[in-house]
Amino acid sequence: MTDNADVVVIGAGLAGLVATAELTRAGRRVLLLDTEPSSGIGGQAWWSFGGLFLVGSPEQRRLGVHDSAELALADWLGSAGFAADTGPGGPDHHGRAWAERFVDFAAGEMRPWLHGLGVRWFPLVQWAERGGGLAGGHGNSVPRFHVTWGTGPGIVEPFARALLDAHRAGLVDVRTRHRATGLVERDGRVVGVRGDVLARHAVERAVPSSREVVGGFEVSASAVVVATGGIGANHDLVRATWPATAGRLPERMLSGVPDSVDGSGIVAARDAGAAVVHTGRMWHYPEGITNHSPVWGRHGIRILAGPSSLWLDADGHRLPAPLFPGFDSLGALQHIAGRGDDHSWFVLDKTILGSEFALSGSEQNPDLTGKDVRLLLQRVLPGAVGPVEAFAEESPEFLWAETPTALAARMNALTGTRRIDPDALERTIRERDQQVATGLGKDHQVVATAMARRYVVDRVIRVAKPHAMLDPAHGPLLAVRLSVLTRKTLGGVLTDASARALRPDGTVLPGLWAVGEAAGFGGGGVHGHRALEGTFLGGCLHTGRVAGRALAAELGD
């Protein structure tokens, strides 16, 4: 089968949809390919919480948050840890340049552009990754996590709508169940895509689909855009590329992405001659729990915890400061991986659960996803929201007990070990409670929790009033076993300022472009070694927009 189009876009996730929307808006003809059935349009973004990193927004200003592009860039650079050599030819030259442009985008055009497309935001800006170190280190100095009204589906919707409009206008042809296996090259230029046609398989969104091959295809175009995402579902590849200096990832991990996120597009780009860089840079979460109602293989959900829970390693020891819940996820992961463990623990009580636990993902937040104001108001009432309550009741990883001794016994029973000493667990909780009782205290986590309550949003819906965990009025006690949850690839195809793929020698590989996670969210690694929350969806939006507009202009020459 041979077809002709101006551009072939591989991948119908958010970055691919945005690039397609920009191309068709300019009158270019697009062939959009995706391995999954049509139910999967929107890809991983559809499942997300819909959080966006916005800077100096009206929502921030209404809450008294003072932000600026200068402060946001300082936070970004403090988190990224880019190489000192950022000049041409330096390992982070393109990544840093993309970072500077993205911060300008987040402080400028992103919000009005999305607002014009009908996107709106929950007015209470969150603080998803606090950092907790020195001023020049990792983390956000102010809350910047803007949750989209409608969560991930709310972000996907305007671009899915644009896809339908373009299809009606004859500007886009969508071919689902078309798995790209390689790029077609001619005279040093990428001129098309080849691959397998898979058997039609009607399944719900993200449910693993058949890989039965029923045919092949080859399509040609003036340019190809790779928008296939990262490697998060390929656990063997994740473990193989994880840097040895960051510890050893466990054999037992959960997946925060559907099974189709396997890195195949990045491999195809590399085989065609593109440079693939920073493969060891990843962003996985240590706060994963097994989904009691899984959709894809090894399906895990991330707990978005407030700062009050005690975070203990597999032996029951507190993680070192500032590795508190919600402060430094990657640092906590590296600490756990450095010990060689496959799990850690949150220890808390029923009051903290009700105030501080949230779950990442569109399906775990029906109030925000469904734009249900009446259901949303329940977040300010005592007790946990419905999906959290469901996990607390149904998950075998949520362990309730009246005393530390009984809790330790249940923790050991779940893991089949005796690693949690009941006396040590009780001592740890009592020491923490003594610090809370002072009203001041020297414990860094207690101090940081008290500081968090100075922010009105944290005080109202995210941080419990300080209290003793051993006070029966706040019981029973709860331990939650946490597992590593794979999620984001921070490295990828090296791209220039227009999202054109580059060869290892730094020259442009004609005809090939890369966006979203496949391009490290820009330049092969816009985040450097660490990311600020809310920048993944934003990176897909930014790279797709830049590539679509630049490619449309180039085709017009």
Q: What's the CATH number where 393 sits?
A: 3.90.700
Q: Look at residues 309, 261, 260, 266 and name the one whose alpha carbon lies nearest to residue 286.
A: 309
- In this structure, the answer to whether residues 27 and 50 fall within a common structural domain is yes
CATH number (domain holding residue 36) = 3.50.50.60
Residue 522 lies in a domain: yes
Average pLDDT over residues 330-336: 96
pTM of the model: 0.96
pLDDT at 1 over 70: no
pLDDT 10s digits, 453-489: 999 999 988 999 999 999 999 999 999 999 999 999 9
Residue 235 lies in a domain: no
Q: Look at residues 529, 541, 487, 519 and name the one whose alpha carbon lies nearest to residue 77.
A: 529
- In this structure, the answer to whether residues 480 and 509 fall within a common structural domain is no
Residue 240 lies in a domain: no
Beta strands in 323-379 (DSSP E): 344-349, 357-359
In which band, very low, low, confident or very high, does the pLDDT at 400 lie, cut at 50, 70 and 90?
A: very high
- In this structure, the answer to whether residues 43 and 17 fall within a common structural domain is yes
Average pLDDT over residues 116-141: 92
Residue 179 lies in a domain: yes
Average pLDDT over residues 485-495: 97
pLDDT at 140 over 70: yes
Q: What pLDDT is attached to residue 3?
A: 63
Average pLDDT over residues 160-175: 97
Residue 243 lies in a domain: no
Residue found by looking up tokens 């419905």 in the block: 386
pLDDT at 97 over 50: yes
- In this structure, the answer to whether residues 451 and 546 fall within a common structural domain is no
- In this structure, the answer to whether residues 173 and 308 fall within a common structural domain is no
Instruction: Give the chain's domain count.
Output: 2
Q: Cα-Cα-Cα-Cα dihedral of 532, 535, 539, 545, to 10°? A: -140
- In this structure, the answer to whether residues 299 and 439 fall within a common structural domain is yes
pLDDT 10s digits, 349-393: 999 999 999 999 999 999 999 998 888 887 777 777 889 999 999
Residue 120 lies in a domain: yes
In which band, very low, low, confident or very high, does the pLDDT at 346 lie, cut at 50, 70 and 90?
A: very high
Q: Does residue 466 have a cis bond before it (omega within 30 degrees)?
A: no
pLDDT 10s digits, 56-91: 999 999 999 999 999 999 999 999 999 988 778 889
Task: Tell me the residue range of the domain where 223 lies.
Answer: 4-228+263-281+490-555
Final residue belonging to a domain, choices 437, 465, 485: 485
Final residue belonging to a domain, choices 460, 485, 510: 485
- In this structure, the answer to whether residues 426 and 509 fall within a common structural domain is no
pLDDT 10s digits, 250-300: 999 999 999 999 999 999 999 999 999 999 999 999 999 999 999 999 999
Sign of CA dihedral 104, 52, 304, 230: negative
- In this structure, the answer to whether residues 537 and 421 fall within a common structural domain is no
- DSSP H helical segments within 278-365, as ranges? 329-339, 350-356
- In this structure, the answer to whether residues 202 and 102 fall within a common structural domain is yes
Mean pLDDT of the chain: 95
Give one word for 30, left, alpha or beta, with left for phi > 0 and alpha for psi -120 to 50: beta
pLDDT at 2 over 70: no
Residue 529 lies in a domain: yes
- In this structure, the answer to whether residues 441 and 540 fall within a common structural domain is no
Average pLDDT over residues 152-175: 97
DSSP single-letter state for residue 364 = G
- In this structure, the answer to whether residues 29 and 176 fall within a common structural domain is yes
Q: Look at residues 51, 20, 507, 53 and name the one whose alpha carbon lies nearest to residue 227.
A: 20
pLDDT 10s digits, 51-60: 999 999 999 9
Final residue belonging to a domain, choices 485, 509, 538: 485
Look up residue 60 and give its two tokens: 């921030």
Task: Find the largest Cα–Cα distance for the chain.
Answer: 75
Residue 233 lies in a domain: no
Residue found by looking up tokens 């996730």 in the block: 13
Name every residue whose Cβ is closer than 8 Å to that of residue 440 and which is 6 or more positions away in sequence.
none
Q: What pLDDT is attached to residue 376?
A: 86
pLDDT 10s digits, 534-550: 899 999 999 999 999 99
Q: What pLDDT is attached to residue 557?
A: 60
Tell me how crowded residue 177 is: count the other CB atoms within 10 A of its CB: 20
- In this structure, the answer to whether residues 453 and 498 fall within a common structural domain is no
